[in-house]
Structure 1
C-alpha cells in the first residue's frame, strides 16, 4: 500500500497534537462539567474512555507504520536521480508520527513539521504586516491632501512587494484618482487618470467580487471622461453604471456608492440636447434618468451616513433646485455649508454651495 505525502504528514501531525497536552486539558474540561456527587464514578468512566482512546491511537499508529512500510517500498523503487530532486524521506514521516521519546520530549517536531510551522508563521506575519500597511494607507486617504500625497508615495515605494495583490492595486488606483484631482496641468492630470484606470483594471482581473474594486474602477472610468471624445464618454458612462451597480450589489450599505449612483443619474439628467441625440444614434437604448432618480440615491446615502460628504448634501440641494423646490434647496445648502472642509473636494463643493445659496 502506498501513502501520499500529504496524507502521511496530516496523520502524523493529527496524532501529535491530540496526544500532547490537549488530552489532559480534555479530561479536565470534562471533569469540570460533571456533578460533585458522582465524581468517583465519573473518573472511572473517564479513565476507561482514555484507555479506549489510547487503544485507538495505538491502532492508528500501527496502521500508519504499515502505510509507511508501503511508502518506503515505493520510494525504494524510484530511480536515485529522482529521489534527489526533493522527495520527502520516510524518516521525516516516521519522526512526525513516532511515539518514541528522546531528550527533547516525546513530540518533538520533525524537520518537515518544523519547516511547515515556520512557513505558516511567516505567512501569518506577512499577512499582519500587509493589514497594518493597508490600514495606514486608508487612514492617510481619509485625511487632507498632504496625507493623500504621503499615501501615494508609500504605495509607490511598495509596489514591487504587492504588485499582484488586488487590494494593493485598487488602493493605488484610488491614490492616482486623488492626485488627479489635486493637479492643475492637463497632461499631468491625464497621466494619473490613465494610471488609475490601469491599476483598477488589474485589480478587477485578479478579483472580481469586491465592492471596492468595482467602486474605484467606476471612479477611474469617470475620471477618464475629461480626456475622451463624446462617443467614448457615453460608452464609458454605460460601463461606469454597471460597475457602480455591481458594487452596490456587493455592499448595499456603502453611502459613497449611493452618492456615486446619484451622480450618474444626475449627470444623465443634465446631458445636453446634442449629447442626448448622439446617444440615441449610438445606442438602441440610450442612458436615461430623472432628477427624482438622482435624489433617491443621494437621500439614501444621507440616510446611511448623515453628513458624510459635503458634496452629497450639495447635490440634494441641486436636485431640489432643479425641481423648483427652493426652500428645501436652501435648507440643504445651509446644512452643507456647516460641514467641515477636509480636502480639496470639500473646498470645491463649498464654493458651489456658496454660489448656489446666492440664487435661492
Structure 2
C-alpha cells in the first residue's frame, strides 16, 4: 500500500487586543486633566477604539481518501483532483492512500476513522460489506463512497459516475466518424458504473448511424493497460476503426494501429493528439464540495450524491474537440451541439441502462 499524506497543520491566528480605556491618572495636574478631557470627548464623538474580539481560525476539516488503484487511474483521479482542489483552497486537511488491496481496505478505513478523520471518501465496490460495517462502528464520521448500493443511515452516503449524458454525445461523434461501421468497446467489469456509460455511448452512435455495429469486451480489471491493449488489437483486426477507451491501454493500441479513440472520464487528447477525438469528462467537484459543506454545517446524512455527476450540476461535460476541431464534420457537430443543448435544457433525457452491453457484430 502506498500512503501519501497531504495533511497541513492547523494554525491559530494571533489574538490581537487593544485597550479602549485610559489609565487612571495618579496625580492631579493640568496635563492629566487635558488628557482626560480629550479622551472623554473622543469617546463621546465615537472616536475611541472599540474593544477587539479575539478571532480564532476555524480548524480545517480533516478528510481522508482510500483508493484501490493508483491515483492516475481515470475514476480515482477525478476524486483525488477534487479533494486536492479543496485542500489548495485551505478548506481541508487531506490524507490519502492509493493502491490499497481489498483485503487491507477495512483496516485502512478504521485507521483513518480512529485517527480523527471527519470525512472519509473512496470507492468500495469490492469491499461493500466491510465499508458499511466500519461506517456503523463510527456513526459520528461521515462516509462518502463510490457504490452501486443505497445510502445507509445515518452517515454512509454514496456517489456514482452518472456521466451517461456526455457519453451519449461522444457516441454520436463516434457513430459519425467510423468508416467501417464497426466500433470496439473495452471495459473493466460489466457493472452498472461501466454498463450505463457503454449503453449510452452505443445509443448515441445509433442515433446518427443506424448501421453501426459494436464489439464489446471486459478485461476484468480496473487497471491493466496491457490486457486492455491486447483486447483492442483483437477488435481492430476484426475491422473496428473507432475504439471506446473505458480503460487505459485502449488509446495506446488505437494509436499504434492508426485508428481513432473516444476517451472516458478524463481528457487524454494531449497524450494522443491524433487518436482521441473526444471524451466524456467527469467532474467530481460538485459532489465533493457538497459533502464538505454538509459536514462543516453538521448536516451530513446518508444520501445519494449520484445526480451531482450529471451535466446540469456541472458534474460532467463533453471535452473540447481540440486537435479534431476541424476534422469532425461540421454537420455532425451541429447535431451533437443541438442534442447537448436539449440535454442541458431538460428537453432530452439519456436513458440509464445498467444492463451489460453485448456485441452486435455477427
TM over 0.5: no
TM-score (norm 1): 0.26
More helix by share: 1
TM-score (norm 2): 0.26
**Structure with the greater alpha carbon radius of gyration:** 1
More strand by share: 2
Q: Give the number of the structure with larger relative contact order, counting CA–CA contacts within 8 Å between residues 6 or more apart.
A: 2
